């Protein structure tokens, strides 16, 4: 039944599939919405693809688009012609009898509520305005029924048909992450939370928080308050307090998202040096200090004492089993200029191979972090330099040379878990539809055995902060990151760009409707345009 | 005198120069803020560069930055060490005795109010919170006076020193425009108004409203309501009503901004065909119509009858002396397929030169528009094709080939006014600081006589709508368009990129502070970050 009502803007309720159950062979996969259900057995369930309140000429075209707007595409789904009515008064989301989770799972309760809102939020608004119309003395209300629904005596329902659909779903990769950089530009909490909400809509399950770096140190440490006091852009307005950090972690947890913080050393640490005396290597110009500083000083015991205390704090603040330790892009020029470092190189028999000094530092750092019972992720250089790593280390591949396919092969051949980011540096932009190349990249597209392929745990879309802050982060990230989301969630065979385009256009309008300024893919419109600035 | 107050966030009041008078030899230059003053004689005046409420270590660095943050750079300014106090209770913006404008100029009254708000808006907020602090039983308030100001017994003032500065200013070019495209994506009114506000902050004075195009026709015509009824993305939610258009024009006028609408024909008119029968050329596949349509049909009298009525409406709705008539990118393939058109070509003796047919159409259109007493702007193709043009026609240069320098030389050699956009297609994006090349382009940088250079009336930054809508338009446009703003306003000699960078960083923070999500140029921060999403 489709109603057309004068003075009521047409609405279309885009309902994402409710994945009430899912396959869980993938034990580390944290479904962004159904976190609690990891231990469930595989199951198939009925799921809703809603058709909306359609308007005049738009009916045919819109209906077709809606049917294919699932994103990321489920592993299996089968829609049928059997139609059900759906109304907020009688519809419930309930725990199945066979479910191993129940009302005590607060994450599920929250997810049920969130999806109910997504499904019926607008409807409630319209019910109100409809009542108003019926109660008031409006001279004329034209109701135009375009379907042959026999229930034309009943109250008009904004939303009605829902096709019976079976969905069986599970993620292809366990690690589906987004990296945000809060050091190059400070990201207000509001922006981080909004992007966690959007990550959940796209079934991302890891927020890689590149929280500090050279330009600023916004993480407020209880143990070393000077780090942010002297290293943040501003000690009060541009910091994340312990309470902020807790809120981010809990907000993420409720959406099935892990928060993995990155504290990158020994390079990328300029801002650390403001708060911690003697942490960084003094650079020399000839025979005297130049006044500038390089990477963490790897030859002082005090550096390791600091790291021990610092990572002890970090390991308690962040509950996730993993910490990202960075280890990328160490510039050797300062170390090379420093006479004490040069002496140390000779003593250790490193010759002039400064990557050995880097490895010396990293090795001690890894031992420090391992003692906190955390696993660690590192950027690929740490592996490339031959540092001895724990078996469960996750190697994060990001460099363009050598080709990432070769690096993925090498990392997995050595038996390590690999994580891909090279093709997903979303900070890099170009004119036109660059989501297509993002979509085409595949983390398992390299030459290797099945065993190697299984060591690929997923990937991350990275939005480095040189050119983004609160003003432009969200539209730059979405829906381009949605392309990564589908690559990491859906089956390997889901590669049809034309089909993806149609669904992604609808998916981005769904995000816009929910208040997220996801940018357009190309010419067109959303039924509800973005209402912010 | 600088005060530091515990619990009060440090504030910095960035005050743009108040251009209370300006040179007006350039009669068509509409100062974005002082529209009424066009007829004034040249004058020099004292202007404020405010220093703010500075905080601890930031004082020195911040002060230095503030002093150079004027944007666009005035023609002449001289700051001195003489300092005045400035407070909202005693400061007024008044009409000078010699001014030819007075209180009856509502645009000036509005501008005075707007700049007073920019200057003291935040101060008022803080005065409130300060009172609260003084009235309450706060145990400790640390006030730290870092200057030797003798008035330390008085109430703390958030804002104080203002250096005596003489500014003499006027725009280099009369036409400083921004093109927004509301056809490829519909732009909600809110977005258009916010960008008019930002244009005023950057001394742009022309809003080139590319209001309709192939994808949609959001302009609601009183004469031909079917144009938007059948040609808009949605007939109610994605249209500009007559009232919307009026509001845009008045909102712009109050900010010294002209609104020049573009109704591009005979190409780029697919959406027109939905509402007006027989307006577009039927394309043929072999000997029968293919069902698709091409440019406006130039061989039917009904096309010209329609244009006569339509532009009669447009000429009354839009008060500006100019209308942009488009005339770009006419695809001849449909005309070539149509047997009636081919017959007409023979009759007219055009041979197979379809640009002659295009010129035939444009010639008649120009006569129609000239009859409404409007001047017209056209894209460069119209000039390239040798159409006979009124002497006051403005030729809009946009193509990359031939090089725009050659085209500017040709247009001005023929005695026409020229307007540059080629290097300022801001919809085109690339990774990194692309504002630098935008900044370096100069509309008078071509080989030609002084007389030719004088025919260059300015330029426009264009933001075509393929990839932008309400979600990302504002940060994509600003501060990149600010680079164009300075090029078109400031003296030709203002080309130092390093100096511009420092000022532009501050200028973009000023926009952010005023609620505009202007994106960052590079790593760094604003005292007040963007508070929206």
Q: Per residue in A313-367, pLDDT tens? A: 999 999 999 999 999 999 999 999 999 999 999 999 999 999 999 999 999 999 9
pLDDT score for A95: 78
Residue B94: other Cβ atoms inside 10 A = 9
A531 vs B contacts (CB less than 8 Å): 188, 190, 470
Q: Who's near B462: CB < 8 A, 6+ residues apart? A: B178, B179, B208, B398, B421, B424, B425, B426, B427
pLDDT score for A118: 81
- CB–CB of B533 and A194 under 8 A? yes
When mean pLDDT is compared across A478-492, B83-97, B274-288, B392-406, the lowest value belongs to B83-97
> What is the per-residue burial (b if ≥16 Cβ within 10 Å, else e) of A85-103?
ebebeeeeeebeeebebee
- When pLDDT is averaged across residues B66-93 and rounded to a whole number, the result is 77
B509 vs A contacts (CB less than 8 Å): none
Smallest CA–CA separation between B362 and chain A, in Å?
Answer: 28
pLDDT score for B93: 82
pLDDT score for B19: 33
pLDDT surpassing 50 at residue B60: no
- A429, A521, A525 member nearest B431 (Cβ): A429
Rounded to whole angstroms, how far apart are CA atoms A63 and A3? Answer: 15
Under 8 Å between Cβ of A255 and A196:
yes
Q: Is A308 helix (H, G, I), strand (E, B) or coil?
A: helix
Under 8 Å between Cβ of B207 and B198:
no
- When pLDDT is averaged across residues B151-173 and rounded to a whole number, the result is 65
Q: How far is CA A175 from the centre of its chain?
A: 10
ipTM: 0.81
Instruction: Return the H-helix or E-strand segment holding B24.
Output: none
Burial class (CB in 10 A: 0-12, 13-18, 19+), A60: exposed
Rounded to whole angstroms, how far apart are CA atoms B276 and B279? Answer: 6
- CB–CB of B474 and A533 under 8 A? yes
Q: Per residue in B413-438, pLDDT tens? A: 999 999 999 999 999 999 999 999 99
Question: The tokens of B252 are what?
Answer: 């712009």
Rounded to whole angstroms, how far apart are CA atoms A212 and A271? Answer: 8
Q: Greater confidence, A154 or B380?
A: B380
Under 8 Å between Cβ of A265 and A325:
yes
- In degrees, rounded to 5, the angle at the alpha carbon of residue A200 between the alpha carbons of residues A196 and A201 is 115
- Beta strands at A417-420 and A456-463: parallel, antiparallel or unpaired: parallel
- CB–CB of B186 and A525 under 8 A? yes
User: How much of chain B exceeds pLDDT 90, in percent?
Assistant: 67
- CB–CB of A530 and B469 under 8 A? yes
> Is the preceding omega at residue B479 within 30 degrees of 0, hence cis?
yes
The C-alpha R_g of chain A, in whole angstroms, comes to 26
pLDDT bin (cut points 50, 70, 90) of residue B47 is: very low
Q: Which residues of chain A have pLDDT under 70?
A: 1-68, 122-162
pLDDT score for A330: 94
Catalytic-residue membership of A329:
yes
- Beta-bridge partner residues of B420: B397, B459
- A471, A512, A527 member nearest B517 (Cβ): A471
- When pLDDT is averaged across residues B17-33 and rounded to a whole number, the result is 33
Q: Phi first, then psi: give them for residue B113, nearest 5 degrees.
A: -60, -45
pLDDT surpassing 90 at residue B193: yes
pLDDT score for B137: 33
A516 vs B contacts (CB less than 8 Å): 533
For the whole model, what pTM was predicted? 0.82
- CB–CB of A184 and B523 under 8 A? yes
Under 8 Å between Cβ of B513 and A470:
no
- Beta strands at B161-168 and B280-285: parallel, antiparallel or unpaired: unpaired
Q: Per residue in B306-347, pLDDT tens? A: 999 999 999 999 999 999 999 999 999 999 999 999 999 999
- Beta strands at B161-168 and B49-50: parallel, antiparallel or unpaired: antiparallel
Under 8 Å between Cβ of A218 and A239:
yes
Catalytic residue, from B117, B151, B250, B329: name it.
B329
Rounded to whole angstroms, how far apart are CA atoms A222 and A140? Answer: 66
Q: Greater confidence, B154 or B378?
A: B378
Largest CA distance in chain B: 95
- B430, B465, B475 member nearest A472 (Cβ): B475
pLDDT score for B78: 82
Smallest CA–CA separation between A71 and chain B, in Å?
Answer: 20
pLDDT score for B126: 47
pLDDT score for A81: 78
pLDDT bin (cut points 50, 70, 90) of residue B69 is: confident
Q: Greater confidence, B125 or B57?
A: B125
User: How much of chain B exceeds pLDDT 70, in percent?
Assistant: 79
- CB–CB of A531 and B465 under 8 A? no
Question: The tokens of A384 are what?
Answer: 């490339």
Q: What is the mean pLDDT of chain B?
A: 82
pLDDT bin (cut points 50, 70, 90) of residue B484 is: very high
- CB–CB of A520 and B467 under 8 A? yes
Going through B134-237 in order, the beta strands assigned E by DSSP cover 161-168, 175-181, 206-210
pLDDT surpassing 50 at residue B5: no
DSSP line for B276-328: STT-EEEEEETTEEEEEEEEE-TT-HHHHHHHHHHHHHHHHH--SSEEE----
Lookup result for tokens 């845009």:
B248
Smallest CA–CA separation between B286 and chain A, in Å?
Answer: 29
Rounded to whole angstroms, how far apart are CA atoms A350 and B7? Answer: 53
- CB–CB of B523 and A466 under 8 A? yes
Catalytic residue, from A329, A400, A466, A529: name it.
A329
pLDDT score for A343: 97
Q: Is B480 helix (H, G, I), strand (E, B) or coil?
A: helix
- B432, B529, B532 member nearest A533 (Cβ): B532
Choose, out of A189, A470, A514, the residue to mutate when testing the contact with B (most B CBs < 10 Å).
Answer: A470
Rounded to whole angstroms, how far apart are CA atoms B513 and A465? Answer: 20
């Amino acid at each position: 039944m489709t109603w057309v009502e004068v003075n009521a803007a047409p609405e279309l309720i885009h309902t994402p599939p409710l994945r009430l159950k899912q396959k869980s062979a993938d034990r580390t996969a944290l479904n962004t919405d159904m976190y609690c259900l990891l231990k469930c057995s595989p199951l198939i369930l009925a799921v809703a693809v809603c058709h909306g309140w359609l308007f005049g000429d738009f009916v045919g075209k819109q209906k077709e688009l809606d049917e294919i707007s699932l994103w990321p595409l489920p592993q299996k789904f089968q829609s049928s012609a059997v139609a059900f009515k759906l109304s907020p008064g009688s519809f419930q989301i309930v725990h199945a009898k066979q479910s191993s989770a129940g009302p005590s799972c607060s994450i599920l309760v929250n997810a049920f509520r969130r999806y109910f809102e997504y499904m019926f939020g607008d409807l409630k608004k319209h019910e109100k305005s409809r009542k108003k119309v019926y109660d008031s003395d409006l001279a004329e209300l034209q109701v135009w029924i375009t379907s042959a629904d026999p229930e034309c005596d009943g109250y008009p329902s904004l939303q009605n048909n829902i096709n019976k659909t079976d969905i069986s779903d599970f993620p292809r990769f366990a690690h589906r992450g987004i990296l945000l950089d809060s050091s190059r530009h400070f990201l207000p909490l509001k922006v981080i939370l909004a992007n966690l909400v959007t990550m959940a809509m796209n079934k991302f399950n890891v927020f890689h928080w590149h929280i500090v770096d050279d330009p600023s140190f916004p993480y407020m440490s209880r143990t070393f308050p000077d780090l942010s006091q002297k290293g943040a852009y501003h000690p009060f307005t541009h910091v994340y307090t312990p309470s902020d950090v807790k809120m981010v972690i809990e907000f993420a947890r409720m959406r099935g998202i892990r928060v993995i913080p990155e504290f990158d050393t020994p390079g990328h640490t300029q801002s650390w040096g403001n708060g911690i005396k003697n942490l960084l290597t003094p650079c020399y110009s000839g025979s005297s200090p130049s006044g500038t500083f390089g990477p963490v000083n790897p030859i002082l015991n005090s550096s390791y004492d600091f790291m021990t205390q610092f990572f002890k704090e970090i390991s308690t603040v962040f509950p996730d089993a993993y910490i990202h330790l960075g280890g990328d892009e160490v510039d050797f020029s300062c170390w090379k200029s420093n006479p004490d470092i040069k002496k140390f190189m000779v003593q250790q028999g490193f010759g002039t191979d400064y990557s050995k000094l880097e490895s010396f530092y990293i090795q001690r750092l890894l031992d420090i972090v391992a003692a906190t019972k955390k696993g660690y992720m590192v950027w690929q250089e740490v592996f490339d330099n031959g540092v001895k790593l724990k078996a469960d280390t996750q190697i994060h591949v990001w460099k363009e040379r050598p080709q990432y396919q070769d690096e993925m092969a090498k990392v997995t051949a050595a038996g390590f878990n690999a994580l891909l980011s090279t093709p997903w540096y979303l900070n890099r932009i170009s004119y036109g539809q660059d989501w297509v190349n993002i979509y085409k990249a595949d983390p398992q597209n390299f030459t290797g055995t099945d065993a190697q392929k299984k060591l690929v745990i997923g990937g991350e879309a990275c939005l480095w902060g040189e050119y983004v802050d609160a003003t432009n982060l969200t539209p730059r990230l979405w829906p381009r990151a949605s392309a990564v989301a589908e690559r990491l969630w859906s089956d390997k065979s889901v590669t049809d760009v034309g089909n993806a385009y149609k669904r992604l256009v609808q998916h981005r309008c769904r995000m816009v409707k929910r208040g997220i300024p996801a940018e357009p893919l190309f010419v067109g419109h959303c039924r509800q345009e973005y209402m912010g600035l």
